[in-house]
Structure 1
């Protein structure tokens, strides 16, 4: 006699992970190296322009040399990490501005703090604008800094204009960086995501609802494009 068939087992519900992968190792190290170089640039610039710090530190020639080489090396971490597919994909997302980003900005201007009023993909509109501004400011600072460094390559009027732009843009950059650090200090989950590469699912659903379904599918070979 044949044995009786086994009773059908109820289908098991798929357990969703409690954490989602947000940044790769290459992205995190590029961010850390860029932050370190930026910090050195800001500190050395402060020592060059504030008399109190200049007297305290001394060694002006050494500070100038450190500021010059650190500024010249500022784009290197991102350029070195371009071999990372994850970084290239994130740069593409940062360079893409959709209708949901405009809705996010309108909600910020109206001070509407409801999560439903601020739809965001992996990066919200504020992060995209900051990334674009930081990239442009870094290139301008690099170009004007090189004019001030290699004085024999440009005429005096160019160097004068470069000094004016470099100084005032440095002040603006310091203010924006302070705001960036303040925003990061107010969001411990986002800081942990940059430090460890992972964020909680609850945070992703609340802060980046349009990105969370795509983050689940990063475990699969197919990837859903960002909604336009």
Structure 2
């Protein structure tokens, strides 16, 4: 019995630390609150059900402002910083992954490290989008800080980018729903070795991350 348990433990690899799973979970909750309150503000039928518009606006504003907090707190973790570095670097195999996706409309797992090129693009888009949303949101939140045409432009960008973010997040959730092992990695921090060989074969968990020359 003990041998079987040891064998199962040996077949699992830590993909994320507790700090990293906390960051992801916190961001997911904050983003979910932002999305729900935004919908409650812009969809009349939902607005009627929720009511209390002033409270919804306040919750939306503060959940948006707090979005960078989990990331900044996560920087205390060495593992989080290492993975942030991985997500921020594109290697030749990442470009080949993207070219294969464009040509065949399918992912190419053999060209994926710990994070594939799609995940890296999603992370880059998320960081940029959150910064733009916070910037435009502040202009809308404090109207006296800027002239009218700035606020008009900020409102336009904020609204349409919010719609794009919703579409991208829906795609992210849909892809995650198709990969239970990836979800387990985010929930527990561990994934099986066979999944790494199948989906992220260029990632060698027992080796240090590569450095750009």
Q: 2:206 aligns with which of 200, 205, 216?
A: 216
RMSD, matched Cα: 1.8
Q: 1:148 aligns with which of 126, 140, 148?
A: 140
- What's the secondary structure of 2:206's corresponding residue? helix
Pairwise CA distance, 1:226: 5.6
Gaps of 5+ in 1: 1-14, 218-222
**Pair 101,114 (structure 1): closer, same or farther in 2 beyond 3 Å:** closer
TM-score, L = length of structure 2: 0.92
Aligned residue pair count: 206
Q: Structure 1 residue runs of 4+, over 6 Å off?
A: none
Matches within 5 A, 1:109-120: 109-111=102-104, 113=106, 118-120=110-112
- What's the secondary structure of 1:216's corresponding residue? coil
**Pair 113,50 (structure 1): closer, same or farther in 2 beyond 3 Å:** closer
TM-score, L = length of structure 1: 0.86
Alignment-derived partner of residue 84 in structure 2: 91
Gaps of 5+ in 2: 1-6
Q: 1:100 aligns with which of 51, 76, 93?
A: 93
Q: Distance in 2 between matches of 1:134 and 1:113?
A: 22
Alignment-derived partner of residue 5 in structure 1: none
Q: Distance in 2 between matches of 1:63 and 1:207?
A: 41
Q: Distance in 2 between matches of 1:170 and 1:224?
A: 34
Q: Is contact 2:86-2:115 (8 Å) kept?
A: yes
Say which structure is richer in helix.
2
Larger Rg: 1
Alignment-derived partner of residue 149 in structure 2: 157
Alignment-derived partner of residue 225 in structure 1: 210
Alignment of 1:125 onto 2:127? no
- What's the secondary structure of 1:20's corresponding residue? strand
Q: Is contact 2:101-2:107 (8 Å) kept?
A: no
